[in-house]
Structures are given as C-alpha cells and as structure tokens.
Amino acid sequence: MPHPTVAFLGIGLMGQPMAARLAGAGFPLRAWNRSTAKARTLATHGAQVCESLEDAVRDADMVVSMLADGAAVGATMDAALPAMAPGSVWIDMSSTRHDEALAFHARLAGQGVRFLDAPVSGGVPGAQDGKLAIMAGGSLRDFEEALPLFAVLGSAQLVGPAGSGQVAKLCNQLIVGATLNVVAEALLLAQAAGADPAAVREAIRGGFAGSRILELHGQRMLDRNFVPGGQVKSQLKDLRNVLAAAGEVGLSLPLTAAATRSYESIEAELGHADHAAALLALERINPGVRLG
C-alpha cells in the first residue's frame, strides 16, 4: 500500500531530522518552513520544498506540524485550512498547552479535518535516530492510520482523546525539568563537599537515582557543554504550560514552580542554551562554587 502524501511544516532543530527520516522511508513529503532556506536542506532527501504553505498542504493526506508553540501552530493552521482537503488529518507534534490542543481539534473538526496532538520526547538525538517517544491524543481510528508514520519516528502510544497527548508531554516535561535541576544540585553538592562529582555520578548511575537525565545531561554538566539539544526557552515554555494546566484543575505543583523560577533566572541570557544550563542558574545563587 503506498504511503500517504505528507506536508511537514516546521523545519527546525527537531523538524529537520524528523522530516528527513520520513522522506528517506519513502513518504511523498512536502517541506515548508517560514524561512524557506531551512526547508531546502531536505531536497537532498527527496522532499519537495514548498515556498507556499498552501502548496504544501493542498491535497496532502497528512499534515505534520513541528512548530515553536501554540501561537505558531494556530496561525499556521488558520492560513493552511482553506487549502486543505476534507478528511485529511493534521498531526501536531509541537508542544502546546492542553487548552490550545482542544481548540485546534474544534477548529479543524469544523472544517472536516481530523486531528491528533502527538508531541514527542527524545530531543534531537531521538529525532535523528527514530527513537522519539510519541504521546498521541485523538481517536483510535486516526491513531492507527498514523501508525506507519509514527513508526519511522519512534514509538507511539495513544493516551486518550484529543488534548491528551499534550497532557502526557507536560507530565514528561515536568519530570525532565525538575530532574535536571535535581541532578545539578547533586553534582554541585558533590563538588562543594570535596568529592569527585564525575565519580559520584558514576557511582550512582546503577542505583535508584539512575536516569537518562543523569546519564546524558549529568555528563553535559560535567563537561560544561550547553550547546542545544533541548533549549532553556523550550523547557521554560513547557514548564509554564504545566503550571497553566495545573491551574485549570486546581493543583499546586511546588517543585515545578521552583524549576520554572530557576529557568526564568537565566532565560534572558541563556534562552538558546541546552536545558542542562539549569546548572548555571544554580551556580549563580551559590557564588564561588563551580562544577567541572
């Protein structure tokens, strides 16, 4: 059975390797980005580069968006909808607020277009290797139709109706954001107390404290390598969305609030740094102590 035609919108740090994998797997792929130069990198993978958003989505079976935030998704959706075919499916793999995902679902349904919110976790390495964790919200029928596409990008799980994918992503980002700060505190404590922080990390990797965050970002902190992967500004956006979702259901999340304040303290200067820069926020309130 031939692959569906896919319009991929948003060729950034994550979108570029994701779109490249889909084109390489044989999906007829149209690539669009607000800055067309970024999309042109996909021509070597066999993708059709579209300067016009309308040309990208016209008669496409599936539209995949990987954009900066809910505002960007909403604006792109409004511009694209008049050219979309009824019965097509929009798969938003960006990270947005839960209420935004519900609004997108309603907006598309009103035009006869189906919707899955399917944010991802795994960062640029996961996108490059096809090992993203994909959390999808929507109908079972639409999810099953999208499974061949998801299989190229990683492992997908349907977690509930429309909007639920964004809830799952927020839960993921809550754990990631808080754990990054906890790992930074642990390694800085080891440094300040006279232990070898690299040896401490090695010693605890196999115990209950072991995690992907300790494995990858703990090493980044030791190396003082803050070239992005995931960016401070993106982590902060997600944590703010977590607090907004918690507010909607009357929850107080003190650890999330503390992690949010930590990232806010470095946003202006280090917004584009890797989110392992949680270490730098911690060092600023502990003058004279420096890891690595």
Active-site amino acid positions: 169
CA distance 45 to 255: 43
155: helix, strand or coil = strand
CA distance 273 to 233: 8
Partnered with residue 6 across adjacent β-strands are 29, 62
Contacts of range 143-147, beta carbons closer than 8 Å, 24 or more positions apart: 143/116, 145/89, 146/62, 146/89, 146/91, 146/116, 146/118
Whether the Cβ atoms of residue 108 and residue 83 lie closer than 8 Å to each other: no
CA contacts within 13 A on the Cβ side of 80: 35
Whether the Cβ atoms of residue 178 and residue 256 lie closer than 8 Å to each other: yes
CA distance 165 to 173: 12
CA distance 256 to 246: 10
Backbone angles phi, psi at 26, to 5 degrees: 100, 5
Could you tell me which of 35, 11, 174, 175 has the C-alpha nearest to residue 93? 11
